[in-house]
Amino acid sequence: MGAARRFKQVDVFTKVAFKGNPLAVVLDADGLSDAAMQAMARWTNLSETTFVLTPRDAQADYRVRIFSPDTEFPFAGHPTLGTAHALLEAGLVPRRAGTLVQECGVGLVPIELGADGALAFRAPAASLAPLALQHQPLLARVLPGAALDMVCTPLIVTMGIAWLVVRLGSAQACLDARIDGAALQELTQLGVAGVAIYGPHDGADPADYEVRAMFTKHGSLVEDPVTGSANACIARVLQAQGFPDGGETSRAYSARQGTCLQCDGRIAVSYVDGEPWIGGHSVTVIDGVVRV
């Protein structure tokens, strides 16, 4: 049996347990091998499990490695917020008041601590590339019959993890969209993790945008409850495309994700000095130790 290590399972992008995206966090991971980390991530079978390590960079408060059941990611959004939440709850005192600095595969990621308990990370730098014309028919097969808003070009956005970001004509079109898993599996051959679709709500709704993120796992279609990296990619796309909705969305907006899964993830996006920050709340569901 392995050593007892502090462990939490948290729900991210929600104030209400079981409505967000779950994350497993091992708080004392120094000494664990790559194989042990991957084995535990496979065992938890969550979209991600994180392992907190002593930082190598003097500017960082901690270092984190992020594993899915199958591989390691250099960066992911909901693991960033969930790990920070778990560490703060466990008593970590930031080196700089009001800000944590996470070291991960994409470098240093600052995380702001909100007065209401919300956390927000600055979206890493991203590369944006239009989906090539020869792949447009494939996109049509991925989203058969969907009301795509082709005024905003579908973009492959890469920030450690890559998403194809596609805008639909409305939030309802986003909710109604059907996804062809076989076509999406073919799309991933272009080097993307999956497709992130979004559409604007009208003024009467509780969020500015509806978001969905889909990928394939072992050949099966999976929809993610709430996705920090996909929302960060969408934030970069909105900025690059000149905030087509205008108004306040050029400075801050809100998004909802998980509706089709009976979840209610809430994401707050703001732009500070031209950089998007992706924020939300987290709640701890399991708090104890794991022997690994």
Mean pLDDT per 10-residue interval, the chain, length 292 residues: 93 98 98 97 97 98 97 96 98 97 97 96 96 95 93 94 96 97 96 96 87 94 97 96 78 96 97 96 98 92
Q: Which pLDDT does position 2 carry in this prediction? A: 84
CB-based contacts of 111, cutoff 8 Å, min separation 6: 80, 81, 84, 99, 100, 101, 102, 119, 120, 121, 122
Distance CA 36, CA 210 (A): 37
At residue 249, the pLDDT reads: 62
Could you count the other beta carbons within 10 Å of the beta carbon of residue 97? 7
48 is catalytic: yes
Residues 255/234, Cβ–Cβ less than 8 Å: yes
How far out from the chain centre does Cα 247 lie?
A: 25
DSSP code of 139?
Answer: H
- How confident is the model at residue 248, as a pLDDT? 59
